[in-house]
Amino acid sequence: MTTTSEMAGNRKVFNLLELSQHRSRHDCWLLIDGKVYDVTDFLKDHPGGDDVLLFATGKDATHEFEEVGHSSSAKAMLSEFYVGDIDSTKANDIAITATPKQTTEQIQDNNNSELLIKRFQFLAPLLILGLALGVLFYQD
């Protein structure tokens, strides 16, 4: 898979891997309706706040954008931030790049439950042995 941008005529075409590399407060791209917008400088000015934009980055934000019911002037503003299009032929990338990153807490949670299962796997035979010995002891 190539991560370099390609030019289609004068338009810049990005793949989803490239999109996913611009997901921070200092470098934030949005994908809306197949078009890529660099909203880094708009974060502080967005009337809906910067958090929603940062949350919508790295994936297809079309639904989120439409759901808010943005005014026509908001839609007209989009062109100010337009940087290119998304390469729709590489749709498979979506599965890889649009998966939300696990938070540290989620990873911690997963690790905790794995530890619990491992402990149980170790303790289960001991419990059975203990029960069997208990039964033998009371039979005498």
Cβ distance 115 to 44 under 8 Å?
A: no
In the bound state with ligand HEM, the residue whose beta carbon lies nearer, of 3 and 73, is: 73
Could you say which residues in the range 79-138 bind ligand HEM, by CB under 6 A? 81
Residue nearest to ligand HEM according to CB distances in the complex? 48
In the bound state with ligand HEM, the residue whose beta carbon lies nearer, of 11 and 137, is: 11
Could you say which residues in the range 18-77 bind ligand HEM, by CB under 6 A? 30, 37, 39, 46-48, 52-53, 56, 61, 64-65, 68, 70-71, 73-74, 77
In the bound state with ligand HEM, the residue whose beta carbon lies nearer, of 41 and 114, is: 41
Give the Cα separation of 25 and 23 in Å (integer): 7
103, 54, 47, 11: CA torsion to nearest 10:
-160
In the bound state with ligand HEM, the residue whose beta carbon lies nearer, of 69 and 125, is: 69
DSSP 5-38: -EEETTEEEE-HHHHTT-EETTEEEEEETTEEEE
CB of 9 to ligand HEM, least distance (A): 23
Report the amino acid identity of residue 30: L
Cβ distance 66 to 56 under 8 Å?
A: no
CB of 90 to ligand HEM, least distance (A): 22
Q: What is the DSSP letter of 86?
A: E
Binding site for ligand HEM (CB under 6 A): 30, 37, 39, 46-48, 52-53, 56, 61, 64-65, 68, 70-71, 73-74, 77-78, 81
